[in-house]
A = this chain, B = another copy of it.
Amino acid sequence: MRTHYCGTLNTDQLDQTVSICGWAHRRRDHGGVIFIDLRDREGLAQVVCNPDQLEMFKVAESVRNEYVLRITGTVRRRPEGASNSNLVSGEIEILCQEIEVLNASITPPFQLDDENLSENVRLTHRVIDLRRPQMQKNLMLRYKVTRAFRNFLDSRGFIDIETPMLTKSTPEGARDYLVPSRVHPGEFFALPQSPQLFKQLLMVAGFDRYYQITKCFRDEDLRADRQPEFTQVDIETSFLNETQITALTEELIRTVFKEALAVDLPNPFPRMPYSEAMARFGSDKPDLRVTLELTEVTDVMKDVAFKVFAGVANSANGRIAAMRVPGGAAFTRGEIDEYTKFVSIYGAKGLAYIKVNDITQPNETGLQSPIVKNIHEAALKSVIERTGAQNGDLIFFGADKEKIVNDALGALRCKIGHEKGHVNGNAWEPLWVVDFPMFEYDEEGKRWNACHHPFTAPKDEHLALLESDPGKCLAKAYDLALNGSELGGGSVRIHKAEVQSQVFRALNIGDEEAQLKFGFLLDALQYGAPPHGGLAFGLDRIVTMMTGSESIRDVIAFPKTQRAQCLLTQAPSAVDERQLRDLHIRLRQQPTVEVVKE
């Protein structure tokens, strides 16, 4: 039907007769001539329809936006001054000889170049929305990225193996999506939250190197950047240690960025222990583009008169951190109020600050702040010294439970950094965060939980800590952060049954419970499991960052809304009573409050 894509035509085809197919992007009538910009996935080409060919011209006159056309004509150079350097085909036009309307279109619900569409309109008319050049580019880049992932992994001996979508529910972590079984009344499959256990089983089975680009499912309350189903680049390998796995996978990421975006990421990626990341940036995925840092000052506030600080400094899990903002003394009252409100989202009860007027006078004379009079000069001097503050700077303080301080100042750091230009100018800042703790203490449940998951191996030299001091036990776990987002993460797994038992004991998971939930993994560990480990990358997130999209929904062809609906197909929807009966389930009573659909 066609000889070329519209968007690829150029002066190489001068004087040739070509056929192109596509959509009427725009039709203009100018001096008795009709111009049609014909669009296909590769771009636009300008078609000129002269009135001297009556038949053809009559057809051209009938063309409206989004009509599907087949056009045959001769490629010629555009007249002087009429070329368009934004288009590959910008120097040529097609002098139309034949035009065929392959399909008509009613008036589209919106113009493709309308930048002010609500997301609901876009998702309801997703098919039209997907015609927009930006969406075409996004999905094309997504494809290029997955191909780059595959090519690299293929070249390194990784095998793509499919794991089940209908699998077993393990009520841990996020909520499962459940699938009722028709054949086994009262029983359910679960959609996988990740292929974690299956990929470990594949290692025990001896496949050595596995990957899969696969859908995972979590029935979570949807935040801006989450989807009920998301795509994971899932990787596992045997006989490699932590260093080798991270080296291999950072080469993978470098290759993907190079191939898909022509971007050179640093080689090697910097590495930072979790403890340092939390201390300096209040985050386990710090945005290293931002040059602001947190400074520890808990120890110097133990004996100050300011009760809030002294109280926190003397409590068990309190932290006081200072964050110097160069030039911040110029912040207005309004700005500081806004920041104070911002940190309250993270549970901070306030946001103390000091404006630094004269560092040689670390007291009410040189420093401007309501709290200065209640902090003795030695402490203030330490703050100035440790933060390296200069005249004209501002120092913010977080003082609360460690987690609140880290969350609040960590977020404030990024906000101020990007808003006020405290950035280093690099476009991409990858960082391996390593040496994660094995466990975090759940204050409510009074128990230790796994930071990653219960199959993560502890550091060899920390094995004894599993029993004696779980909080100090570090894991062979690693996360890859990029510009403040987590690209992916993983760990070396436990391959010895007795270590797995020790970890379950630390997590207070009894033998029976372990057997019930993970029996098949524990079984497998007994039959010669090799040392193995791996990681998973979030594909949607990576492509969102690469395309500079605001939402993950802009890199997914048919996404769900934040209320987990597909506005295009109206899924989920009610089903026949007969279907429910087949599945041995019935509906509970509807809630009395009607849930309003988007």
Which A residues lie at the B interface, using CB under 8 A? 1-2, 5, 21-23, 39-41, 66-68, 70, 102-106, 108, 126-128, 130-131, 136, 139-140, 142-143, 146-147, 150, 154, 159-169, 171, 175-191, 197-198, 201-202, 204-208, 215, 217, 219, 228-229, 231, 238-241, 495-496, 520, 523-524, 526-531, 556-558, 560, 563-566, 568-576, 579, 581-588, 590-591, 595, 597
Contacts and interface: CB of A to CB of B under 8 A. Distances in A.
Contact of A571 (B146, B166, B201): B166
Contacts of A496: 103
A579 B554 CA distance: 31
A279 B306 CA distance: 97
A136 B207 CA distance: 7
The residue in A104, A205, A528, A574 that gathers the most chain B C-beta atoms within 10 A of its C-beta is A528
Given A166-B229, A186-B574, A179 B181 contact: no
In order of increasing CB-CB distance, the 8 nearest A-B pairs are A105-B528, A130-B205, A168-B571, A187-B572, A181-B572, A66-B528, A168-B569, A1-B239
Contacts of A159: 139-140, 143
A206 B21 CA distance: 11
Given A66-B527, A68-B530, A165-B217, 8 more contacts: A21-B530, A128-B527, A165-B191, A178-B180, A184-B565, A190-B575, A201-B558, A202-B557
Nearest to A147: B154
Contacts of A579: 169, 171, 175-176, 178
Nearest to A563: B183
A588 B597 contact: no
B560 A166 contact: yes
The residue in A104, A166, A191, A208 that gathers the most chain B C-beta atoms within 10 A of its C-beta is A166
Contacts of A165: 165, 191, 215, 217, 229
Contact of A136 (B191, B206, B241): B206
The residue in A103, A131, A171, A556 that gathers the most chain B C-beta atoms within 10 A of its C-beta is A103
7 contacts: A127-B205, A127-B524, A130-B202, A146-B160, A185-B590, A188-B574, A584-B588
A131 B572 contact: no
A569 B167 contact: yes
A187 B573 contact: yes
Nearest to A211: B143
A504 to B, nearest CB: 18
Contacts of A139: 159, 161, 207
A71 to B, nearest CB: 12
A101 to B, nearest CB: 10
